[in-house]
Every structure is written in structure tokens, then in C-alpha cells.
Amino acid sequence: MNVTIVGAGAIGLLFSARLAIQGHHVCLITHYQEQADEINKRGITLIGEQNQTVSVLATHNPDNGFKDGVWIVTLKQYQLEMAYSMFMQIPQDAAVIFTQNGMSHLALLERLPHSNLFVSTVEHGACKQSNTSVKHNGIGAWKIAAFRGLHSLADSLDLDQDRFFPILFHPDYETLLLEKLIKNIMINPMTAILNVRNGELIKNPYIYRTMEQLYNEVACVFPAARSIVPFEEVVLLCQRTSENISSMNADLRSKRQTEIDAIVGYAIEKGNGKEELPLLRFLYDAIRGQEYTIGVRS
């Protein structure tokens, strides 16, 4: 199957390598020509349980993407609006899958004319090592749900049943995204502000108490949280990923903008008028303050 991947960060590199290993024809669209040239010359090196280098076609020009098959958009949430004109050039009968955290991008999807749009959540741990290499830190699942259109157009992505890259299909996109959003709210900003790995959130009794308070605020905004993601599940997730560095923490360490607006900002917007939400507002302002300090937010 022809697969065009937009964005060559950690997730874009991981997806390109793993889908190429499965036998798909992959075209990776990069932000810079230099990275495309390096990938075309050296391939993508995947570091993990299976260390290998995979040949992948890369291009800086979106016009060189496949005219059929599946398009996967791995850009950060805050990059989507700037790429809107490019999305409009994607063939309207192609299946387009978005991988962003949060739920703010649903408004953008409503504006797209494509017949087959999908959202997804990524549970893999990935860390970009260089322009041509990515470390696969933890095996999770890539879960896909139809926002508009037919699931059958994306079903063939799972042709190889790759145990290192399982692909699952979810019946309800809102539930899928809300589950990931709650987990992101609970883990990403706290680990980023404190600059700790995920496991510290439950090992440290003072942080753990704050986590309980934060969960109560999240449940006030999203009443379904207690059934979709019980607090005990958040604790188990921190245990399973105890040595992981959250994506928001990694962004700040690398002096990059985070997805705080799409994650905590979205929750505050949804909870406006319900509660004061002091912890969520603190996390929101604290992360934005750190972005300001490192020069990635004005």
C-alpha cells in the first residue's frame, strides 16, 4: 500500500520505518530539504528491540507524495493550521489519518473536504536521535478511529500484524481521543514542570497527592473520565512507563514548543464556567511560562 507520512519528527520517523518494514511503500515529507537528502542517502535507523536501517523515500515537496493510498499526518497540534493549505492538496478520496494529542484538531477536520478522515492515538515511546534515526523506547499501540468515512480504507495498514507496531481500530473517535487526552493531562504537564520521568509521579507521595487533586479537576470537566480512565489506570500507566520521559518534558528539554494549548488549554476551555480549576490553570500558565523563558512563546 502507498503511505505518505507528513512530518519527520520522532513519530514520523518511527511510523515510516515500521510501516516500510511491514512492506508498505512509504514516502516521508520532511520540513527541510537537508533531512530528506540524508534519509534518501542513509535510510532510517530504528533503534530498539530490532535494530535495523530501512530504506524510505523522503521529499521536502508535498507534491511528491503518493496520489493514492493513505496519508498520515504526524505534525504537532500547533503546526496543523499552518499546514492547512497543504492538506487541501491531498487527493480528496485518500484516507487521511491524524495522530495529534488533544482534541483541538477536530475543528480543523470539520473544515476539510475529504471523504475519509481518521483520528488516532499513539501509545509508543519514541525519541528522535538524529535526522535519520529514532529510538523506539516502548511498544504500545496505534489506535485509529473514523472521524468521517469508511474504516476499510485504512484496514490494509495492518497487513503484517507486526507485534512491534500493533494497529487497532476503535469504534468511537470521541471516546478514543478523550481517553488519550485525560492520560496526557495527568502525566505530561506534571512531568514537564518537575522535569521528572513518569514513574516519579506515583513514587513521590507529595506529587501523588497532587495527582489525585488534578484527577478530581479533570473529572469535573469530563464526567466520563471516571469510567473511561479511572485514577487507578493512570497509576498503572505511570508504572508501566516509569522510565519514560513524556513528550512535553522532552519538548521543553529540547527548547521546543509544547502541545499545552491542545491538552490542558482544551480542558480549561471545556470547563469554563463549571469550576475554578486552579491546578489546571496553574499547569497551563506554568508550561507557557517555561516556553516563554526558553524563547518559544511570545
- The distance of Cα 192 from the centroid of its chain, to the nearest Å, equals 16
**Which residue among 76, 128, 180, 183 is the active-site one?**
180
The secondary element (H helix, E strand) that includes residue 155 is helix 152-155
Residues 27 and 5: beta-carbon distance below 8 Å: yes
**Residues with Cβ within 8 Å of residue 53, at least 6 apart in sequence:** 42, 43, 44, 45, 46
> Half-sphere exposure of 125 toward its Cβ, with a 13 Å CA cutoff?
18
CB 149 within 8 A of CB 143: no
Task: Reply yes or no on whether 180 is catalytic.
Answer: yes
Host H or E run for residue 26: strand 25-29
Torsion of CA 169, 8, 149, 102, to 10 degrees: 70
Q: Which of 55, 60, 57 is nearest to 44 (CA)?
A: 55
Catalytic residues: 180
